[in-house]
Amino acid sequence: MSIIQIIVMIVAGIIAFVAMNKQKSGAAWGQPVAIICAIVAIVAALWSTVSNLSGSGAKKAQDREVEFQKIQTRKLGQYLAQNHAGAKAIIINDPFNDGTRPNPMLEGLKDGLGSAITVVAEVAPPVPKIENAEGPEGEMMAPMETWYTAKAMDDILKGANADYDMVITCIGLPAGGLLRLKGKKVAIAGGSVYEYGAAIQGKVIVAAVTYKPDAVYDDKPVPSNMEEAFNKRYLLVTPENLAEVAGKYAELFEKK
C-alpha cells in the first residue's frame, strides 16, 4: 500500500468520525458524509486492485454503486406503496442535482412507488450563491444545516402549491423541520434517524431508510435478489419494526 493510499484512508477516517458525531447532534448531513468517507477509505484500500481494472471494470464498479442507491429508495417506495396507497406526496430532492445528471435515488423511489402513490410535486431547497469566491476560503460553501432550515423547507413545500398528505425527503430533515410537518405523513429516504425514534414510534414518520452500522462494502456484484441486496447495506425502519431495530442497533437512536 502506497503512502498516498494511507494518507487518503486516514483523512477519510477522520472526516467520517467528525461527521458521525455531527449526525448524533442532529446534523442532517452527518450520516451521508460519513458514508461517503467510508466508501473513499474502502476505495483507497482497494486501490491497488482498482488500478489494475480495465475501463470496463471501473464502469462496473460505478454501476454497482448506482444500483445500490436505486435499491435503497426502491425498497422504501415499495413499502409506502403497500402501506399508504392513495397518498399524495411531495418529494424533497437533492438540491445539488440540477437534472443534468442521473439521480438513482429518485429513480429507485419512483419505481418503488409505482402508481400507488401520486407524486404531486418535486422540490429542493435553493443552494445559496457563493459570495467572494476569489480564494480557497471564499469557495467554501456554508454547511447545509445553516441554509436548509425548517423555514426553508416550509417555504419550498408551500411554494409547490400542491395538495399533499405525505412528504418523502431524500436529504433528511432540518432541525425543527418535523414540527413544520404536523398532520403529514413523513418518510425519510436519506438522512439520519438518530433523533426520530419517538416520531417513528408515534407514526409521524411512517418509514425511514438508513445505513446499517455493519453494512458490507465490497467489490462483489449486486445480489440479484433485491431483499438480499438491500439488507447488505441498509435498514428500513418502520413503526412495526422499530423495537427490533433499536434492540439490535441501539447506536442509531438518541438515548432519552
DSSP one-letter string for 62-120 = HHHHHHHHHHHHHHHHHHHHHHSTT-EEEEE--TT--SSS--HHHHHHHHHHTTTSEEE
Helix, strand or coil for residue 211?
Answer: strand
User: What is the pLDDT, as a whole number, of residue 245?
Assistant: 96
Residue 126 CA: distances (Å) to CA of 68, 94, 111, 171: 27, 10, 26, 13
Residue 50 CA: distances (Å) to CA of 54, 61, 219, 254: 9, 9, 10, 38
Mean pLDDT of the chain: 82
Please tell me the distance from the alpha carbon of residue 2 to that of residue 197, in angstroms, as a whole number. Answer: 43
User: What is the pLDDT, as a whole number, of residue 16?
Assistant: 56
Query: What fold characterizes domain 66-252?
Result: Rossmann fold (3.40.50)
Which residues, 6 or more positions from 256, have their beta carbon under 8 angstroms from its beta carbon? Answer: 197, 198
Please tell me the distance from the alpha carbon of residue 33 to that of residue 143, in angstroms, as a whole number. Answer: 11
More confident residue, 35 or 136: 35
Q: Is the pLDDT assigned to residue 135 strictly greater than 70?
A: no
pLDDT band at 235 (very low <50, low <70, confident <90, very high): very high
Q: Is the pLDDT assigned to residue 192 strictly greater than 70?
A: yes
User: What is the pLDDT, as a whole number, of residue 171?
Assistant: 92
Is 205:199 a contact under the CB 8 Å cutoff? yes
User: What is the pLDDT, as a whole number, of residue 241?
Assistant: 97
More confident residue, 164 or 38: 164
Is 154:79 a contact under the CB 8 Å cutoff? no
User: What is the pLDDT, as a whole number, of residue 132?
Assistant: 55
State the average pLDDT over residues 18-31.
55
Please tell me the distance from the alpha carbon of residue 8 to that of residue 80, in angstroms, as a whole number. Answer: 39
User: What is the pLDDT, as a whole number, of residue 13?
Assistant: 57
Is 208:230 a contact under the CB 8 Å cutoff? no
Burial class (CB in 10 A: 0-12, 13-18, 19+), 124: middle
State the average pLDDT over residues 112-127.
96
- Ordered by start, the domain boundaries in the chain are 1-52, 66-252
Which residues, 6 or more positions from 4, have their beta carbon under 8 angstroms from its beta carbon? Answer: none
User: What is the pLDDT, as a whole number, of residue 189?
Assistant: 93
Question: Of 19-33, 50-64, 188-202, which gets the smallest average pLDDT?
Answer: 19-33
Q: Which residues pair with 186 in a beta bridge?
A: 167, 205
User: What is the pLDDT, as a whole number, of residue 253?
Assistant: 93
Q: At which residue does the C-alpha cell 467510508 appear? A: 38
More confident residue, 44 or 213: 213
Of the chain, the percentage scoring pLDDT greater than 70 comes to 73
